[in-house]
Chain A
Amino acid sequence: MGIEQKAADMGIVTMRLEQAVNWARTNAMWPMLFGLACCAIEMMAAQASNFDMSRFGMELMRASPRQSDLMIVAGRVSRKMAPVLRRLYDQMPAPKWVIAMGDCASCGGIFNNYAIVQGVDEVVPVDVYVAGCPPRPEALIHGILTLHEKVRGESLKKWA
């Protein structure tokens, strides 16, 4: 009987620290409420019963940036909104991630004009882009799972 078996019988599981931390981060990732346009409707649908994002530990949308670690930019960002977006991003505690949901947030979408920021990556660093106009809830959930994969791959060296 190995040491693992013995430890498991005592209720102890051994794993690497970064694995444990990343597991905790992915399974309790609190997104911030950031619905700007029609994509927000799909984001709400993704949390509602048919799609149920709480399966991935994400049912809790926070209205405060200080309590959240994921910003889902859902909708087009106007030039007037851009400073607000950046300020909210700066107020989020690290580690923090950003998903650009939909075409408008990713690259300006159909609004190729003076009033709309041509991609939210001009304002904040984006981790995952979700294409679609608007993306279906499945697409958003896929984007979030892609982000989870990225977070699981982060190493201890990067935190310091």
Chain B
Amino acid sequence: MNEQLLPAVNALAGRFTATASEFRGETTLMVPSEQLVAACRTLRDEFGFNLLEDETAVDYWPQQEPRFHVVYQLYSQPGYLRLCLRVPVSGMHPSVPTVEGIYPNANWHEREIWDMFGIRFEGHSDLRRILMPYDWEGHPLRKDYPLGYEEVAFTFNEDEINQGKPYAKE
């Protein structure tokens, strides 16, 4: 692990129930969702992680439980350091506290995660869909979301498929 990261990692491991792991030079901290906001505030105010580079989510269904990980990529501009936070959440209607109050750019990232994974962000100021149409049903990047493809037409089933297609009128 990068030595400069040690104070931040040790502080988080001491004050919160965070477990650190490392893969190919990237340090990741697993943080429970109820401690997320406090951990982010500590990292920003005391250790200089003043930039939220990216916020995204992963769906590990059906291999893992809890199935969702919300991933925060933090960057420290004074120290040139990167740190990854992961928050595991489970269930069909998961929710995580928003970090919008600490990193304002989380707003759109969280809207995208809500749109694509259906993870609610408690306290978010404007939690609407951002990519899909507002009246869309479901959250497409979930692993159990149906792809919704159309059957491929060959000569033997072409007529059948064409009958079901909603062709536009003038």
Binding site for B on A (CB under 8 A): 79-80, 86, 107-108, 112-115, 118-119, 121-125
Are A113 and B168 in contact, with the CB atoms below 8 A?
no
Encoded as 1 (CB less than 8 Å from any A CB) or 0, chain B from 135 to 170 comes to: 010001000011111101100000000000111111
Instruction: Decide: A113 and B147 in contact? CB cutoff 8 A.
Output: yes
Chain A residue contacts of B140, Cβ below 8 A:
114-115
Q: B133 at interface (Cβ–Cβ under 8 A)?
A: yes
Query: Which B residues contact A (CB, under 8 angstroms)?
Result: 131-133, 136, 140, 145-150, 152-153, 165-170
Contact A114 B168 (CB under 8 A): no
In the complex, chain A residues whose CB is within 8 Å of the CB of B168: 86, 121-125
Having A80-B133, A112-B149, A122-B167, one finds 18 other A-B pairs with CB under 8 Å, namely: A79-B133, A79-B136, A80-B131, A80-B132, A108-B150, A114-B140, A114-B145, A114-B146, A114-B147, A114-B148, A118-B150, A121-B167, A122-B166, A122-B168, A123-B168, A124-B168, A125-B167, A125-B170
Task: Give the secondary structure class of B's interface.
Answer: loop
Tell me, in angstroms, the Cα distance from A13 to B153 when the chains sit together.
Answer: 51
Would A113 and B149 count as touching, CB distance under 8 A?
yes
**What 8 A-B pairs are tightest by C-beta distance, nearest first?**
A114-B148, A112-B149, A118-B150, A80-B133, A122-B166, A113-B147, A124-B168, A123-B168
**Bound Cα distance from A113 to B148, whole angstroms:** 5
Assembly CA distance A108 to B170 (angstroms) = 21
Nearest neighbor of B132 in chain A, beta-carbon distance: A80
Contacts of A112 in B (CB 8 A): 149-150, 152
Q: Which of B136, B146, B150, B169 has the most CB of A within 10 A?
A: B150
The answer to whether A122 touches B165 (Cβ under 8 A) is: yes
Cα–Cα, bound, A112→B146 (Å): 12
Distance of A108 Cα from B153 Cα, bound (Å): 12
A80 to B165, CA, bound (A): 19
A-B contact pairs, 13 of them (CB 8 A): A80-B132, A107-B153, A112-B150, A112-B152, A113-B147, A113-B149, A115-B140, A118-B150, A122-B165, A122-B168, A123-B168, A125-B167, A125-B169
CB distance from A99 to the nearest CB of B (A): 15
- Nearest chain A residue, comparing its CB with the CB of B131: A80
Provide the residues of chain B in CB contact with A119, threshold 8 Å.
Answer: 165
Q: What are the residues of chain B within 8 A of A125 when measuring CB–CB?
A: 167-170
Residue in chain A with minimal CB distance to B146: A114
